[in-house]
Amino acid sequence: MPMQNVRTTPIEGQKPGTSGLRKKTAVFRRPHFLENYVQATFDGIGGVEGKTLVIGGDGRFFNDAAVQIILRMACANGAAKCIVGRGGLLSTPAASHLIRLRKADGGLILSASHNPGGPDADFGLKFNGPNGGPATEAVTDRIFACTQTLTFYKIAAGEDVDLAQLGTHKLEGMTIEIVDPVADYAALMQTIVDFPKIKALFAGGFTMCFDAMHAITGPYAHTILEDMLGAPKGTVINGQPSPDFGKGHPDPNPIWAKTLMDKMYGADAPDFGAASDGDGDRNMIVGRGAYVTPSDSLALLTAHAHLAPAYRGGLAGVARSMPTSRAVDRVATSLGIGCFETPTGWKFFGNLLDAGKVTLCGEESAGTGSDHVREKDGLWAVLLWLNILAETGKSVSDLMADLWAAHGRCYYSRLDYEDVDSDKANSMIDALRVRLPMLAGARIGAMTVENADEFSYLDPVDGSKSMGQGLRIVFEGGARAVFRLSGTGTQGATIRLYLEQLETDPARLQDAPEDMLRNVRDAALELSDLTAITGRTAPDVIT
């Protein structure tokens, strides 16, 4: 089979963001776009000659064609072996596990996570390193540098590989092993949570609804929840992955997982509800009439993780991204374990996990995970919750009430202003940044600023520094507002405003979050001048 060196020139806009490169599908399908980025990735990691790579994606439109291109390029670049999920499918956490299990040199994951899929929607590609985690900033910087100097890429010509057949195939000198995408992941879950205990819970009539949102976790959830744990058939809804996610947003939050929310707040609601995103790394947890914020979920899991076999000896420490609420900090303090605050994005947890400094970590954006892989893991979070529900015999709302009674409640919400003119978004952030050092002591409406700064992070493991990671304004009385620009959008800029208010008064632990957050929201909007600068009077999405 002929190998080709195809001449190319650098293509603009190939800078990886919070989680790899994300673009409109149509952009990824332009001539050379994907190929350039794949070659830059290979070059950026020092070549793939003789290496083993894991390859799989969330099944969105273009997943299959892109896997074929990547395989032919891996072959032409001299890779020894590619391990591919059957059909080109792997959830992000399953890919992370497979990289670690097989001691691969890394992996390419095709996904734009919770963004919609289809020819007019979004596509993405990210590289994960040998530890199974997203490439570090140093690696993504090198990949980006390679995209800017590329003059050719290498690709083998030839027929498509049959991805449907399990087993070993050959593509020139390269071995392709097609594996069951679910089996190894399911086996890993059995070593972490108490399957017999959860099985007994379901056998006792406990009811659940898992919304796979037409995305990758469908097959994983059917196998684990229904086949292995005995949850009744029909527990998993929207379990058949589709290339456009049933034309929805595979984003597990109360807005996009509305079917599930309606069920959980309706008559005859199941005991437990959960959803996962496009590539299976996010999760939403909801009890009967009780939505759990991702920040609270992280705190709850931290408080009760010792009930699961894998964490029986306690947690080494926990970490959360900076905009995530400080609920977990309070639990960590009471457990006497360390709590790290990192920039947004899973890649910053990798070093802490590798160094054994933390066991659990999470983000406000519906991501929770542990040291079992180096990605956030949606189904794992659901299983850990089930383990805790089974061990305590309590309902989700009772568990939350207990947590708030013990530690106070961090009321929390995120406001997203999407597709804002990039210049306007940047000028709003720039103007606020300049004023931060002068804000301490300022009174804005009902609030007084305690301190304000721009978050930067010094990695305690490798000493690397990440600047410009969000503007935070802390108010007296336990409130906080954070502004940052999204690094995953594919159109214009997305401004994220994160709001938090701590409440410890036992009489005020069941109030409406929008009421509890009104003052901090108004103060943040006034301080930033968001409406005047961007012309936006209301957020597009509130979670």
d(CA 372, CA 84) in angstroms, rounded, equals 21
Residue 364 touches Zn ion, criterion: CB under 5 A: no
Least spacing, CB of residue 510 vs ligand G1P, in Å:
27
Least spacing, CB of residue 288 vs ligand G1P, in Å:
28
Q: Which two tokens stand for residue 119?
A: 């020819």
d(CA 69, CA 63) in angstroms, rounded, equals 10
Token pair 């690709």: residue:
155
Facing residues of 361 across strands?
Answer: 319, 369
Among 14, 36, 39, 113, binds Zn ion (CB under 5 A): 113
Least spacing, CB of residue 298 vs ligand G1P, in Å:
12
Least spacing, CB of residue 332 vs ligand G1P, in Å:
19
96 binding partner (options Zn ion, ligand G1P, none; Cβ < 5 to 8 Å by kind): none
Among 18, 39, 295, 501, binds ligand G1P (CB under 6 A): 18
Residue 15: helix, strand or coil by DSSP? coil
Residue 251 touches Zn ion, criterion: CB under 5 A: no
19 binding partner (options Zn ion, ligand G1P, none; Cβ < 5 to 8 Å by kind): ligand G1P
Q: Is residue 424 exposed (0-12), middle (13-18) or buried (19+ Cβ within 10 Å)?
A: middle
Which residues have CB under 8 Å from 181's CB, separation 6+?
56, 85, 86, 87, 89, 90, 91, 94, 219, 220
d(CA 228, CA 83) in angstroms, rounded, equals 25
Residue 525 host element (H or E): helix 518-528
Q: Let me know if 113 is a catalytic residue.
A: yes
Residue 351 touches Zn ion, criterion: CB under 5 A: no
Q: Which two tokens stand for residue 206?
A: 């406990």
Among 28, 62, 185, 346, binds ligand G1P (CB under 6 A): 346
Among 77, 365, 469, 534, binds ligand G1P (CB under 6 A): 365
Least spacing, CB of residue 543 vs ligand G1P, in Å:
10
Q: Is residue 309 exposed (0-12), middle (13-18) or buried (19+ Cβ within 10 Å)?
A: middle
Residue 486 and residue 496 in contact, taking contact as beta carbons nearer than 8 Å: yes
Residue 363 touches ligand G1P, criterion: CB under 6 A: yes
d(CA 15, CA 33) in angstroms, rounded, equals 12
Residue 44: helix, strand or coil by DSSP? helix
Strands, E assignment, 26-165: 52-57, 81-89, 106-110, 122-128, 152-156
Q: Which stretch binds ligand G1P (CB under 6 A): 242-250, 403-411, 480-488, 514-522?
A: 480-488
Binders in 262-301 for Zn ion, by CB under 5 A: 277, 279, 281-282
Residue nearer to Zn ion on the CB measure, 211 or 281: 281
| Residue tagged active-site, from 19, 111, 113, 276 | 113
Least spacing, CB of residue 489 vs ligand G1P, in Å:
6
Residue 496 touches ligand G1P, criterion: CB under 6 A: yes
Residue nearer to Zn ion on the CB measure, 275 or 428: 275
279 binding partner (options ligand G1P, Zn ion, none; Cβ < 5 to 8 Å by kind): Zn ion
Residue nearer to Zn ion on the CB measure, 282 or 472: 282
Residue 486 touches ligand G1P, criterion: CB under 6 A: yes
Among 158, 246, 487, 513, binds ligand G1P (CB under 6 A): 487
Among 117, 219, 278, 345, binds ligand G1P (CB under 6 A): 345
Say how many residues touch ligand G1P, by CB under 6 A. Answer: 14
Residue nearer to ligand G1P on the CB measure, 217 or 486: 486
Q: Which stretch binds ligand G1P (CB under 6 A): 48-56, 199-207, 340-348, 528-536?
A: 340-348
Least spacing, CB of residue 44 vs Zn ion, in Å:
22
Residue 368 touches Zn ion, criterion: CB under 5 A: no
Binders in 435-474 for ligand G1P, by CB under 6 A: none
d(CA 357, CA 100) in angstroms, rounded, equals 19
Residue nearer to ligand G1P on the CB measure, 320 or 330: 320
Of the candidates 165, 234, 230, 169, which has an alpha carbon nearest to the alpha carbon of residue 201? Answer: 230
Residue 276 touches ligand G1P, criterion: CB under 6 A: no
Residue 102 and residue 113 in contact, taking contact as beta carbons nearer than 8 Å: no
Which residues have CB under 8 Å from 258's CB, separation 6+?
none
211 binding partner (options Zn ion, ligand G1P, none; Cβ < 5 to 8 Å by kind): none
d(CA 74, CA 31) in angstroms, rounded, equals 18
242 binding partner (options ligand G1P, Zn ion, none; Cβ < 5 to 8 Å by kind): none
Residue 19 touches ligand G1P, criterion: CB under 6 A: yes
Residue 416 touches Zn ion, criterion: CB under 5 A: no
Residue 77 and residue 154 in contact, taking contact as beta carbons nearer than 8 Å: yes
- Report CA 518 to chain centroid distance, whole Å: 28
Alpha helices in 322-448 (DSSP H): 327-335, 350-354, 378-392, 396-407, 422-435
Say how many residues touch Zn ion, by CB under 5 A. Answer: 5
Residue 194 touches Zn ion, criterion: CB under 5 A: no
Least spacing, CB of residue 113 vs ligand G1P, in Å:
5
Which residues have CB under 8 Å from 259's CB, separation 6+?
211, 237, 238
Dihedral of CA 287/289/294/296: which sign?
Answer: negative
Of the candidates 255, 200, 257, 252, which has an alpha carbon nearest to the alpha carbon of residue 231? Answer: 200
Q: Which amino acid belongs to residue 91? A: S
What residue ranges bind Zn ion (CB under 5 A)? 113, 277, 279, 281-282
Name the residues annotated as catalytic. 113
What residue ranges bind ligand G1P (CB under 6 A)? 18-19, 113, 321, 344-346, 363, 365, 367, 486-488, 496
